Amino acid sequence: MVAWRCLYDRYAPLVLRFASALGVPAEEREDAVQDIFIAVFRSLKHFRGEAQLSTWIYRIAARHAIRLGRRRRARETMRVAMMKEKPPIVTDPSERSTQLATLDRMLGKLPPKKRAVLVLFEIEGLSAKEISDVVGCPENTVWSRLHHARSEMVKAARRMAS
Amino acid sequence: MKWLDEPQDEAERLVREGLDLAKQRLGDELMHRRVWAKVAETAETPEPRSTRRWLWTSAAATLLAAAGLFAYVRIYRVTSLPSTPTVATNTPPSTAPLPVAPAGTAVGSETEIVPLESERGPGNVIRAREGERLRVALGGGATAELEEKSAMTWDSQHRPTIQRGIARLAVPHQPPGWRFSVTAGPYVVTVVGTKFEVRVSNRTVGVDVTEGVVEVWRNSHSTRLAAGESWHGPLYPDEAASTSESASSVSSAAPERPQPLPAAAKPLSSATARSLQEAETALQAGDAAKAIEILSRTAQGTGPAAENAAYELGHITRYNLNRPRQAVALWDKYRNRFPNGLLRTETDLSIVETLSQMGEVQAALAEANTFLTHHPNSERRLDVQRLAERLRAQAATEAK
């Protein structure tokens, strides 16, 4: 249990940051981190050391976050269909939170696969090789997704800025 | 060199700064410890075997079939009855009847609002207009049903705040040591897991408990309410106290139970109240510097307004300006000036949390130990105890 605790202490902040950047909403983040670590501990016996432990954890986290995102989008579609009007537009006085909220909105416009690559590269600092291990695609695909994700992000930012 | 390290325009700068900020989004200590408690508990239990899964699947299928049958019987009964006015479809099930909207008000369809974490902050107001009922997700599974003409917002500590009208809250059971709080006027209602209603009118605040137990706090005094009990108190207790001293005419706001109010404090002068309002408005508009300027002036005075302003200065510095060291210094100044202040517990707690987040292990540990000695009955005792344990372990590792 001590080893598990060390592993948790080391990777929980990373997993939380990753889940946030992949669009897991705040109220679901705690549960998401919990589920990811339960999955990590239960699958630890299958970890063969072929990739770095962090890469392996990111892989589990990415799968979980994408699955959550799919469920959330389905719920959102239902909600929008049932709503008469949009919720009020709200602003946050904290500059830091506003910038993060803006980033989340921009990331939210990216397709999940491109988003995962951009987040892993730009926020988590993984190499293209490591990302290809996490998302399960060739390294060249990682570079191409990253290129598209970057240009879509800048376009989204320009639309927001204007 | 990083991507967009030299941004060409405002949009590129926005992206780069957002990405840099996102790297710092690591969650707080308390959250990580809370999740660990759940992970450790679950990870220790054996993984369900396939036979057990099969049993569960069968049980779930049986339950589903029973639920389907039950729903069918109910729908059949409802359609065979004469038509009745529409009631919100997703009102939480409850054994006790929930209070209904005043007679003659046509309750329209219910709209669900799920604000993002960043939207659950001061300055964001959610209003239910006439004939409208809103269901607002408050995070952690808690929901608030806002009746028509009601409004809610969040305070500086990101607690939901009922500004006016009626809100019915349903709060799932909270993890050990954690409590959900909602504010209404000068009161804080804390719960472990329950259903209750908060009403804020022009002059009074009322709480009706449907299920579970809640506590209504004002400063360091509290009243505990069980299911079926009600409480109400004046929205402006200081004002009510001064009025009752002179005219004894606030019988309409008389509490049904002993009130959790401390001895009457000096009422705020209109100029002070205006200044505090201005500071709040500035903060809501994102002008932290102006809010600090106003609060610094107010803090130079005396009484509860000065005390509140002295505490808020630290809070804004910490959370709006993101200057933790300076915030600790301001809170320390508060403690020296108001050693027995009404916000002393909150201040001590803020210092412990901030020092811990800053990585000042020894200082945070010393503060946590002092907190546990000075506030043995605090509702946050358990959290601080866990934090102290963690800090002790960290200090021991560092010593090696």
Within 8 A of A27 by CB-CB distance, chain B residues are: 117, 137, 139-141
Q: How many CB pairs under 8 A join A and B?
A: 162
Comparing CB atoms, the residue among A91, A94, A122 nearest residue B320 is A94
Distance CA(B173)–CA(B238), nearest Å, equals 34
The predicted pLDDT at position B30 comes to: 67
CA distance B20 to chain A (A): 7
pLDDT band at B251 (very low <50, low <70, confident <90, very high): very low
Distance CA(B121)–CA(B147), nearest Å, equals 21
**Which site among B36, B41, B118, B153 would you substitute to test the A interface, given the most A Cβ atoms closer than 10 Å to its Cβ?**
B118
The predicted pLDDT at position B44 comes to: 59
The predicted pLDDT at position B73 comes to: 65
Within 8 A of B286 by CB-CB distance, chain A residues are: 91, 93-95, 98
Is pLDDT above 60 for A44? yes
Is pLDDT above 50 for A62? yes
The position carrying tokens 């606030």 is: B250
What chain A residue is nearest to B31 in terms of C-alpha separation? A30
Cross-chain Cβ contact B115/A9 below 8 Å: no
Comparing CB atoms, the residue among A20, A38, A92 nearest residue B25 is A20
Report the DSSP pairing between strands B204-211 and B214-218.
unpaired
The position carrying tokens 């804390």 is: B190
Cross-chain Cβ contact B31/A30 below 8 Å: yes
What is the average pLDDT across A127-154? 92
If one compares B137 and B116, the residue with the highest pLDDT of the two is B137
Within 8 A of B34 by CB-CB distance, chain A residues are: 30
Query: Poorest-confidence range of B100-104, B201-205, B218-222, B351-355?
Result: B100-104
For chain B, give the percent of residues with pLDDT over 90: 1
What does pLDDT average to over chain A? 80
What does pLDDT average to over chain B? 72
What is the average pLDDT across B371-395? 81
Within 8 A of B12 by CB-CB distance, chain A residues are: 154, 157
What is the average pLDDT across A77-86? 50
> Model confidence over B209-244: pLDDT tens digits?
877 777 787 765 667 777 777 887 877 776 555 544
Comparing CB atoms, the residue among B4, B15, B27 nearest residue A16 is B27
The predicted pLDDT at position B13 comes to: 87
Comparing CB atoms, the residue among B15, B35, B125 nearest residue A153 is B15
Comparing CB atoms, the residue among A26, A99, A158 nearest residue B18 is A99
What chain B residue is nearest to A103 in terms of C-alpha separation? B18
For chain B, give the percent of residues with pLDDT over 70: 70
DSSP symbol at A122:
I
Is pLDDT above 70 for B368? yes
The position carrying tokens 């992000």 is: A153
- Token pair for B315: 């809070």
Is pLDDT above 50 for B262? no
The predicted pLDDT at position B250 comes to: 28
If one compares B95 and B287, the residue with the highest pLDDT of the two is B287
Within 8 A of A57 by CB-CB distance, chain B residues are: none
pLDDT band at B54 (very low <50, low <70, confident <90, very high): low
For chain A, give the percent of residues with pLDDT over 70: 83
Whether B147 and B127 have beta carbons less than 8 Å apart is answered as no
pLDDT band at A128 (very low <50, low <70, confident <90, very high): very high
Is pLDDT above 80 for B75? no
Query: Poorest-confidence range of B54-68, B117-131, B270-284?
Result: B270-284
pLDDT band at A28 (very low <50, low <70, confident <90, very high): confident
- Token pair for A119: 């987040």
The predicted pLDDT at position B45 comes to: 58
What chain B residue is nearest to A97 in terms of C-alpha separation? B118
* DSSP letter string, B43-86: HHSPPPPHHHHHHHHHHHHHHHHHHHHHHHHHHHHHHHSPP---
Distance CA(B58)–CA(B3), nearest Å, equals 54
Within 8 A of A160 by CB-CB distance, chain B residues are: 11, 14
Distance CA(B137)–CA(B141), nearest Å, equals 7
Query: Poorest-confidence range of A32-36, A145-149, B180-184, B241-245?
Result: B241-245
Is pLDDT above 60 for A94? no
Query: Poorest-confidence range of A47-51, B109-113, B160-164?
Result: B109-113
Within 8 A of A4 by CB-CB distance, chain B residues are: 40, 43
Comparing CB atoms, the residue among A20, A38, A82 nearest residue B39 is A38
pLDDT band at B400 (very low <50, low <70, confident <90, very high): confident
If one compares B91 and B125, the residue with the highest pLDDT of the two is B125
What is the average pLDDT across B68-83? 56
> Model confidence over A6-26: pLDDT tens digits?
888 888 888 988 988 888 887
Comparing CB atoms, the residue among A12, A83, A122 nearest residue B111 is A83
The predicted pLDDT at position B81 comes to: 36
What is the average pLDDT across B159-171? 86
Is pLDDT above 60 for B84? no
What is the average pLDDT across B345-374? 86
A51 φ, ψ (degrees, to nearest 5): -115, 170
If one compares B249 and B244, the residue with the highest pLDDT of the two is B244
Whether B294 and B279 have beta carbons less than 8 Å apart is answered as yes
The predicted pLDDT at position B379 comes to: 59
Q: pTM for this one?
A: 0.39
Within 8 A of B132 by CB-CB distance, chain A residues are: none
pLDDT band at B193 (very low <50, low <70, confident <90, very high): low
> Quick one: CA torsion of B331, B379, B277, B132, rounded to 10 degrees?
150
Cross-chain Cβ contact A16/B25 below 8 Å: yes
Within 8 A of A146 by CB-CB distance, chain B residues are: none
> Model confidence over B307-319: pLDDT tens digits?
778 888 888 888 8
CA distance A102 to chain B (A): 7
ipTM, two decimals, is: 0.83
Query: Poorest-confidence range of B121-125, B337-341, B375-379?
Result: B375-379
CA distance A133 to chain B (A): 21
The predicted pLDDT at position B96 comes to: 32
CA B222 to centroid of chain Cα atoms: 16
